[in-house]
Amino acid sequence: MPPSPFPVSGEVLALLLEGRDAIAVWRRLLGPGDPSVGRQTDQRSIRALYGTNKLANAAHGADSPTSAAREIAHVFGPDAMLPKEEDEADTVEWA
């Protein structure tokens, strides 16, 4: 994997998730970007359980299909995504 433009403090496990509303579902599982907020509002979220602060928040998830496409190409290469149909603007399909 190429060097990351994102802060990384250790080993990385890169996942390419797919499915209807995958971005929204993953972001709900992640919880708030600040783990201390997650511990108050969403105690079972990934960041509440494993994050230590806003920078070391345990996991990342793209916030939009555009961000996802850019980040997936960076991590998995430019051919990782399948082209999507015009009427699927709110979903992303992955290879």
Looking at the annotation, which residues are catalytic?
60
What amino acid occupies position 82?
L
Residue found under tokens 């783990």: 35
The dihedrals phi and psi of 81, each to the nearest 5 degrees, come to: -100, 145
Question: Over 45-63, what HEC string results?
Answer: CHHHHHCCCCCCCCCCCCC
